[in-house]
Amino acid sequence: MVKLFLAEDEIAMREGIKRNIPWESIGVEFCGEASDGELAWPQILEQKPDIVITDIKMPFMDGLQLAGLIRRELPDTRIVILSGYSEFEYAQEALRIGVTEYLLKPITPRQLREVIEKLAASLEEEKQKKEERIDWLEEEKREKSEYDRRTLFKMLLSGSMSSHAILEKADEMGLRLGAPYYGLLLLYVMPEENGHGQEKTEELFDAIGQGAEEYYVFEHSMDSVAILMTGKTEDEITEMADRIRKKTAAFLEETGDLHYFFSLGRIVSHLSQIHQVYHEAYRAASSRFFLSPDRVVKPDRPIHQLLARDNPKPIDTDEALQKGNLRSIWENFMRTGTLQEAEDFVEDAFSSIGEANASSILFLNYLTMDCYFSMVRFLRELGRDPDEVNKNIGDINVVIGALTSSEDAKKYLVSYLEEVIRQRDSSTSSRNDQIIETALSYIDSNFTDGSMSLQTTAAFAGLSPNRFSTLFSHEMGMTFIEYLIGKRMERACELLMTTDMKGFEIAYASGYNDPHYFSSTFKKLKGMSPMEYRKRGETEA
């Protein structure tokens, strides 16, 4: 609600204004009154009204002197001067100070009400624009921060940037990575068969990162995050990992169809070792396709030991292929596994069937053929021709006929599986390209709409805001906000050079609801105001 203060030395006039206007019904709070400017000033400083109505002629401090103080201390406050004097010098001084309205007495309550309603509406509109500008700036800041975090983490995991450079960059972003000890967790969220939980997965990842001061959550894939932990002791890292696990378990307990899988890397004392720890944890994470969910694995525990604990009885042929669901596991990997995990996955698959089965040529033939048919079916689901893959990898009949050991079977299956993953990723890339193409078309057609945002564009593309933001920045090499601002600045420059439109008209035509924000953004990006840009163009022409 808009706040209004009244300074008027005539009691009858003051009471008439206060009583004859229905303040609440027009959305105005009458927050105070005074009989002269000197009494009014401390109350105005305390109340910070949006509108001040003041008589021009008052004892101790007149209305013009009061208006001057208000303009210096509260520049956004609207000032309405009431005057019984029509001399030019009063009006001239009022204009110099910057009063909003200069009204001559006598004035009726109806006339004054109309002026106040107009000012209140203007104030509400500006307030809304300010809130929109703040929301926009926060969204821009958040998206840029997430983009920078992802980039930094990729550098850390790849080992392509020195520890010193990583720490400096992290400090600039407000991330305090310096610590005596470091640990790395890879968290995967896995739905049950036919389960759907992408939205819940994103909620979990957000929840884990909220309020965290000693660890940092980074996106790793659509269904996983990497958590970098910092601590003063190794025990502190271990306890932290357990707290994160418990927090995850409690969050997912209500879903019923989602499970977690943690891969905990070894604890190290140098940030430069994190990329090695990551590769070890990533390797261990491939066992998630074979082990029971809701657990933590460590790279120093061989998978065959973990499998033996999960399945203490010897595994026969039927159990390996049917009851053990190796076929389902293989199909699951083709949908969610990565190219880098393929070799480790096949190695784990052979560990899961038991040493006796892996030594049987008959069983290896059966296993290889079964996995081959699974991959052929998956390729056809993708709309790809298996014969093209067979030409590059080898005919299955020839392979089976020449099979003499488990190593032969592994080599063939790894090669074929890697090609299947490439075909899948190619299809995914094509779908992503279509999503980005759809989004770009939507942006290009609607960027002049001031209500366009990351949320509206993500909804049009059929993705969550977080997923769309990540995909857009990955494919375009810039954030959504940066691209949108670029389009709007491009239109503004074009209009400045080819039309005689006024600055505020260009702002609206370029997608900005607030001309002031448009001008400040333009100057920040172009190094000059919109009008200076226009003049420079005219000079060069």
Contacts 24+ apart (CB under 8 A), 454-457: 454/139, 454/143, 454/480, 454/481
**DSSP labels for 167-202?**
HHHHHHTT-----SEEEEEEEEEEEPTT---HHHHH
The pLDDT value given to residue 212: 76
Round the average pLDDT of the chain to a whole number and report it.
86
Residue 510: helix, strand or coil by DSSP? coil
Note whether residue 490 is domain-resident: yes
CATH, residue 232: 3.30.70.270
Note whether residue 162 is domain-resident: no
Residue 408: helix, strand or coil by DSSP? helix
Note whether residue 9 is domain-resident: yes
Number of domains in the chain: 4
Instruction: Choose among 408, 423, 309, 307: nearest CA to 367.
Output: 408
DSSP conformation class of 383? T
Q: Could you tell me if 186 and 205 are in contact, meaning their C-beta atoms sit under 8 angstroms apart?
A: no
Residue ranges making up the domain that contains 70: 2-129
Note whether residue 154 is domain-resident: no
Let me know whether 462 and 486 are in one domain: yes
Mode of pairing for the β-strands spanning 101-104 and 78-83: parallel
Q: Using the structure block, give the residue that is written with the tokens 């983490």.
A: 153
Residue 278 has pLDDT above 90, yes or no: yes
Let me know whether 87 and 118 are in one domain: yes
CATH, residue 498: 1.10.10.60
Q: What is the per-residue pLDDT across 436-488, written as a single tens digit (0 to 9) for each? A: 999 999 999 999 998 888 889 999 998 888 889 889 998 898 999 999 999 99
Q: What is the per-residue pLDDT across 254-264, written as a single tens digit (0 to 9) for each? A: 777 789 999 99
- Interatomic CA distance for residues 497 and 232, integer angstroms: 60
Residue 226: helix, strand or coil by DSSP? strand
Note whether residue 134 is domain-resident: no
Q: What is the per-residue pLDDT across 347-371, written as a single tens digit (0 to 9) for each? A: 888 887 777 777 788 888 888 898 9
What distance separates the 2 farthest-apart alpha carbons in the chain?
111
Let me know whether 274 and 317 are in one domain: no
Let me know whether 380 and 453 are in one domain: no
Note whether residue 415 is domain-resident: yes
H or E, element range at 259? strand 258-264
Let me know whether 371 and 470 are in one domain: no
The pLDDT value given to residue 464: 86
Q: Which of 446, 463, 489 delimits the end of a domain?
A: 446
Note whether residue 174 is domain-resident: no
Q: What is the mean pLDDT of residues 148-157?
A: 89
- By percentage, how much of the chain surpasses pLDDT 90? 37
**pTM of whole model > 0.85?**
no
Residue 347: helix, strand or coil by DSSP? helix
Q: Which of 386, 414, 446 delimits the end of a domain?
A: 446
Confidence of residue 307 (pLDDT cuts 50, 70, 90): low
Q: In this structure, what token pair is assigned to residue 498?
A: 């080819």
The pLDDT value given to residue 41: 94
Note whether residue 481 is domain-resident: yes
CA 441 to chain CA centroid, nearest Å: 21
Q: What is the mean pLDDT of residues 8-20?
A: 89
Residue 541 has pLDDT above 80, yes or no: no
Q: What is the per-residue pLDDT across 504-520, written as a single tens digit (0 to 9) for each? A: 999 999 998 888 888 98
Let me know whether 330 and 232 are in one domain: no
Let me know whether 7 and 101 are in one domain: yes
Let me know whether 508 and 433 are in one domain: no
Let me know whether 13 and 125 are in one domain: yes
Let me know whether 326 and 385 are in one domain: yes
Q: Which of 446, 463, 490 delimits the end of a domain?
A: 446
CATH, residue 74: 3.40.50.2300
The pLDDT value given to residue 535: 86
Let me know whether 116 and 20 are in one domain: yes
Q: What is the per-residue pLDDT across 92-111, written as a single tens digit (0 to 9) for each? A: 777 777 788 888 878 888 88
Let me know whether 476 and 441 are in one domain: no
